[in-house]
């Protein structure tokens, strides 16, 4: 569940505490292009105030008008579709051929929203199952592989951290990167045995460990929903983490450094009995090429590449740092010759 959805749920719980009526709207299925993914949420208060998003804005406007005109009088959830016809798709700003199905759920204290928020904020991954006939909901532990499921009778939604990130090093760059990663809904662990770095660590929503990086990798039992990023520039720390992480199913393993340092790192890692296939999984230099120089810019560059890997997007060589810089050098030599 993304952080926008958590804010929707928290605001819904606050409105319920204030005695207001709330309509929770969830995207349960899309056909064709859609502005928001399945599982996206919007809450509409009885006076038309909203939080969250399920489209580019036009569907929200329609739902607000619906609440203002009719109020929230329903007692049980219902499913509605937008964009079935070309005229309706155009009216609601959906791409050509796009259709979106929503579940409109009138919330009560029995909906378990406060309980759901507490579970998510404690770091648990939970599934919420909504009975469309009665409006009753139950919350139970979930697996990361679960997702949104709707069959007309029940709606299952997943809430909580689905992806984990291990960051090696607690320096300035790590602080910016981890702050953004928390916003991207990673469960972030920062590993750095150096007290001079960890003593001043103050990034909310992250966990700090002071064990050796290779031990941390093994303790975390990394799976295919994990990313590992080494940022210390210290081979004694980065290499230890990388040699273990590259043997795991982690979807992303990367290390900061120049092209020269990256080449040297790969040579060192060969001494740890890593196969060519395992070494080929190493992203380095990390990030996409955006001309970044400051720690915040570098953090954005790295997380853009991580996000692409997470979403199964293969980046062209010219977007990768090594390929982009090599191309610039070749272009520069060409300009020199032409001159």
Among 238, 250, 263, smallest CA distance to 167 is for: 238
Residues 3-29, mean pLDDT to the nearest whole number: 93
How far does Cα 318 stand from its chain's mean position?
25
* φ, ψ of residue 287 in degrees (nearest 5): 100, 170
pTM exceeds 0.85: no
**Span 78-89, average pLDDT:** 73
Contact present, 258 and 285 (Cβ < 8 Å): yes
Reported as a single tens digit per residue, the pLDDT across 86-118 is 565 556 555 555 688 999 999 998 899 999 999
Per domain, the residue ranges of the chain are: 3-159, 163-283
pLDDT (average), residues 266-289 = 90
pLDDT, tens only, 122-175: 878 899 999 999 999 999 988 766 778 999 999 999 988 778 999 999 999 999
CA distances in angstroms from 10 to 7, 75, 84, 120, listed in the order given: 5, 21, 32, 10
163-283 belongs to which homologous superfamily?
Answer: NAD(P)-binding Rossmann-like Domain (3.40.50.720)
Radius of gyration over alpha carbons of the chain, in Å? 24
Higher-pLDDT residue of 121 and 28 is 28
Task: Report the 10 Å Cβ neighbour count for 273.
Answer: 9
Sign of torsion over alpha carbons 45, 47, 52, 57: positive
Q: What is the pLDDT of residues 301-319, one digit of tens each?
A: 999 999 999 988 988 776 6
Averaged over 199-223, what is the pLDDT? Answer: 93
């Amino acid at each position: 569940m993304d952080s926008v959805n958590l804010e929707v749920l928290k605001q819904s719980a606050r409105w319920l505490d204030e005695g207001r009526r709330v309509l929770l709207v969830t995207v349960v299925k899309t056909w064709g292009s859609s502005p928001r993914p399945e599982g996206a949420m919007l809450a509409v208060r009885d006076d038309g105030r909203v939080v969250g998003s399920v489209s580019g804005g036009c569907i929200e406007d329609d739902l607000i008008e619906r609440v203002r005109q009719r109020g929230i009088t329903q007692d049980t959830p219902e499913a509605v579709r937008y964009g079935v016809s070309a005229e309706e798709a155009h009216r609601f700003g959906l791409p050509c051929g796009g259709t979106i199905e929503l579940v409109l759920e009138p919330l009560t204290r029995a909906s378990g929203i406060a309980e759901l928020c507490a579970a998510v904020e404690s770091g648990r991954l939970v599934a919420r199952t909504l009975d469309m006939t009665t409006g009753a909901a139950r919350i139970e532990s979930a697996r990361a592989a679960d997702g949104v499921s709707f069959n007309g009778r029940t709606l299952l939604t997943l809430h909580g951290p689905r992806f984990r990130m291990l960051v090696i090093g607690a320096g300035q760059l790590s602080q910016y990167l981890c702050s953004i990663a928390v916003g991207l809904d990673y469960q972030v662990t920062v590993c750095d045995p150096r007290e001079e770095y960890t003593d001043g660590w103050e990034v909310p929503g992250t966990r700090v460990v002071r064990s050796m990086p290779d031990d941390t990798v093994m303790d975390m039992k990394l799976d295919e929903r994990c990313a590992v990023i080494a940022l210390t520039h210290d081979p004694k720390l980065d290499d230890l983490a990388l040699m273990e992480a590259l043997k795991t199913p982690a979807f992303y393993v990367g290390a900061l450094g120049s092209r020269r340092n990256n080449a040297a790192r790969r040579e060192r890692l060969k001494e740890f009995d890593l196969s060519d296939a395992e070494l080929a999984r190493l992203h380095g230099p990390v990030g996409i090429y955006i001309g970044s120089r400051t720690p915040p810019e570098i953090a954005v560059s790295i997380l853009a590449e991580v996000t692409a890997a997470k979403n199964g997007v293969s980046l062209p060589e010219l977007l990768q740092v090594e390929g982009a810089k090599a191309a610039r050098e070749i272009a520069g030599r060409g300009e020199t010759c032409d001159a």
